[in-house]
Amino acid sequence: MPGWLACAALLLALAAAPAAWAGSPDAVVTQGRMQVLLPSRPAAGYFTLENRGDAPLTLVGASAPDCKSLMLHQSKNEGGIDRMVMVSSLPVSPHGTVRFAPGGYHLMCMQPSGALLTRTGTETVTLHFAGGGSVSAPFAIRGPRS
Protein backbone atom coordinates (compact mmCIF):
# COMPACT_ATOMS: atom_id res chain seq x y z
CA MET A 1 0.00 0.00 0.00
CA PRO A 2 1.44 3.42 -0.93
CA GLY A 3 2.21 5.63 2.00
CA TRP A 4 -0.46 8.20 1.23
CA LEU A 5 -3.12 5.50 0.97
CA ALA A 6 -2.21 4.06 4.36
CA CYS A 7 -2.41 7.53 5.77
CA ALA A 8 -5.87 8.13 4.28
CA ALA A 9 -7.07 4.80 5.65
CA LEU A 10 -5.80 5.73 9.11
CA LEU A 11 -7.61 9.07 8.96
CA LEU A 12 -10.84 7.33 8.01
CA ALA A 13 -10.43 4.90 10.88
CA LEU A 14 -9.88 7.76 13.29
CA ALA A 15 -12.94 9.61 12.01
CA ALA A 16 -15.10 6.55 12.59
CA ALA A 17 -13.80 5.79 16.07
CA PRO A 18 -16.59 6.11 18.63
CA ALA A 19 -16.27 8.34 21.69
CA ALA A 20 -13.13 9.96 20.29
CA TRP A 21 -14.61 13.35 21.01
CA ALA A 22 -12.43 16.34 21.39
CA GLY A 23 -14.33 19.26 22.80
CA SER A 24 -17.86 18.04 22.34
CA PRO A 25 -18.98 15.00 24.29
CA ASP A 26 -22.35 13.33 23.65
CA ALA A 27 -23.93 15.51 26.29
CA VAL A 28 -27.21 17.35 25.74
CA VAL A 29 -28.37 20.09 28.08
CA THR A 30 -32.06 21.04 28.21
CA GLN A 31 -34.29 23.16 30.46
CA GLY A 32 -31.38 25.33 31.58
CA ARG A 33 -32.33 28.21 33.86
CA MET A 34 -30.61 30.51 36.30
CA GLN A 35 -32.68 31.55 39.29
CA VAL A 36 -31.67 34.91 40.71
CA LEU A 37 -33.25 35.53 44.10
CA LEU A 38 -31.35 38.62 45.25
CA PRO A 39 -28.50 40.29 43.35
CA SER A 40 -26.40 40.13 46.50
CA ARG A 41 -26.86 36.37 46.89
CA PRO A 42 -25.49 33.49 44.81
CA ALA A 43 -27.78 32.50 41.92
CA ALA A 44 -28.80 28.88 41.39
CA GLY A 45 -28.66 27.02 38.08
CA TYR A 46 -30.90 24.12 37.12
CA PHE A 47 -30.92 21.92 34.03
CA THR A 48 -31.26 18.42 32.67
CA LEU A 49 -28.14 16.66 31.41
CA GLU A 50 -28.48 13.71 29.08
CA ASN A 51 -25.64 11.44 27.99
CA ARG A 52 -26.54 10.26 24.48
CA GLY A 53 -23.29 8.39 24.02
CA ASP A 54 -22.23 4.82 24.69
CA ALA A 55 -19.45 5.87 27.06
CA PRO A 56 -19.84 7.21 30.60
CA LEU A 57 -19.35 10.95 31.09
CA THR A 58 -18.10 12.65 34.22
CA LEU A 59 -19.15 16.22 34.89
CA VAL A 60 -16.32 17.98 36.69
CA GLY A 61 -17.19 21.67 36.59
CA ALA A 62 -19.11 24.58 35.12
CA SER A 63 -18.49 28.18 34.15
CA ALA A 64 -20.45 31.21 32.95
CA PRO A 65 -19.33 34.72 31.92
CA ASP A 66 -21.44 36.45 34.58
CA CYS A 67 -20.41 34.23 37.50
CA LYS A 68 -17.12 34.74 39.28
CA SER A 69 -17.24 31.02 39.91
CA LEU A 70 -19.91 28.46 39.13
CA MET A 71 -19.82 25.48 41.45
CA LEU A 72 -21.49 22.08 41.47
CA HIS A 73 -23.52 21.70 44.66
CA GLN A 74 -25.87 19.21 46.16
CA SER A 75 -28.54 20.10 48.71
CA LYS A 76 -28.92 17.53 51.46
CA ASN A 77 -31.18 17.20 54.43
CA GLU A 78 -29.32 15.54 57.26
CA GLY A 79 -31.09 15.15 60.58
CA GLY A 80 -33.65 17.80 59.65
CA ILE A 81 -30.99 20.33 58.72
CA ASP A 82 -30.68 21.53 55.13
CA ARG A 83 -27.14 21.97 53.94
CA MET A 84 -25.15 22.12 50.72
CA VAL A 85 -22.11 20.11 49.84
CA MET A 86 -19.62 20.67 47.03
CA VAL A 87 -19.66 18.08 44.27
CA SER A 88 -16.25 17.55 42.67
CA SER A 89 -17.40 15.11 40.00
CA LEU A 90 -20.67 13.60 38.92
CA PRO A 91 -20.84 10.52 36.65
CA VAL A 92 -23.52 10.29 33.96
CA SER A 93 -23.97 6.74 32.72
CA PRO A 94 -24.32 5.95 28.99
CA HIS A 95 -27.83 6.96 27.87
CA GLY A 96 -28.45 8.20 31.40
CA THR A 97 -29.94 11.49 32.56
CA VAL A 98 -29.09 13.64 35.56
CA ARG A 99 -31.41 16.41 36.73
CA PHE A 100 -30.23 19.51 38.51
CA ALA A 101 -33.34 20.64 40.36
CA PRO A 102 -34.32 22.48 43.55
CA GLY A 103 -33.60 20.34 46.61
CA GLY A 104 -30.87 18.31 44.89
CA TYR A 105 -28.02 19.00 42.53
CA HIS A 106 -27.66 22.62 41.45
CA LEU A 107 -25.15 25.07 40.10
CA MET A 108 -24.18 27.85 42.48
CA CYS A 109 -23.15 31.12 40.81
CA MET A 110 -20.91 33.13 43.11
CA GLN A 111 -20.87 36.93 42.71
CA PRO A 112 -23.38 37.19 39.84
CA SER A 113 -22.95 40.16 37.49
CA GLY A 114 -24.11 41.45 34.08
CA ALA A 115 -27.33 39.97 32.73
CA LEU A 116 -27.87 38.07 35.98
CA LEU A 117 -28.29 41.34 37.85
CA THR A 118 -30.66 42.88 35.31
CA ARG A 119 -32.46 39.52 35.08
CA THR A 120 -32.80 39.72 31.33
CA GLY A 121 -32.10 37.30 28.50
CA THR A 122 -30.01 34.20 28.85
CA GLU A 123 -26.73 33.18 30.39
CA THR A 124 -24.43 30.87 28.45
CA VAL A 125 -23.36 28.11 30.80
CA THR A 126 -20.51 25.76 29.89
CA LEU A 127 -20.28 22.33 31.47
CA HIS A 128 -16.84 20.76 31.70
CA PHE A 129 -16.22 17.04 31.55
CA ALA A 130 -13.36 14.78 32.55
CA GLY A 131 -11.07 14.35 29.58
CA GLY A 132 -11.32 17.99 28.56
CA GLY A 133 -14.63 18.10 26.68
CA SER A 134 -17.21 20.77 27.28
CA VAL A 135 -20.74 21.70 26.23
CA SER A 136 -22.36 25.13 26.29
CA ALA A 137 -26.07 25.89 26.52
CA PRO A 138 -28.27 28.97 27.03
CA PHE A 139 -29.85 29.20 30.48
CA ALA A 140 -32.96 31.38 30.80
CA ILE A 141 -32.57 33.98 33.55
CA ARG A 142 -35.43 33.98 36.02
CA GLY A 143 -36.39 36.05 39.02
CA PRO A 144 -37.55 34.71 42.38
CA ARG A 145 -41.14 34.03 41.38
CA SER A 146 -40.78 32.64 37.88
Q: Which residues bind Cu ion (CB under 5 A)?
A: 73, 84, 108
| Least distance between Cu ion and beta carbon 64 (Å) | 15
Nearer to Cu ion, 26 or 123 (CB): 123
Q: How far is the CB of 106 from Cu ion (least distance, A)?
A: 6
Residue nearest to Cu ion (CB): 73
CB under 8 Å, gap of 24 or more: what pairs does 21-24 form? 21/53, 21/133, 22/132, 22/133, 23/132, 23/133, 23/134, 24/133, 24/134, 24/135
Nearer to Cu ion by Cβ, of 70 and 115: the residue is 70
Q: What is the DSSP letter of 58?
A: E
Minimum CB distance to Cu ion smaller for 6 or for 84: 84
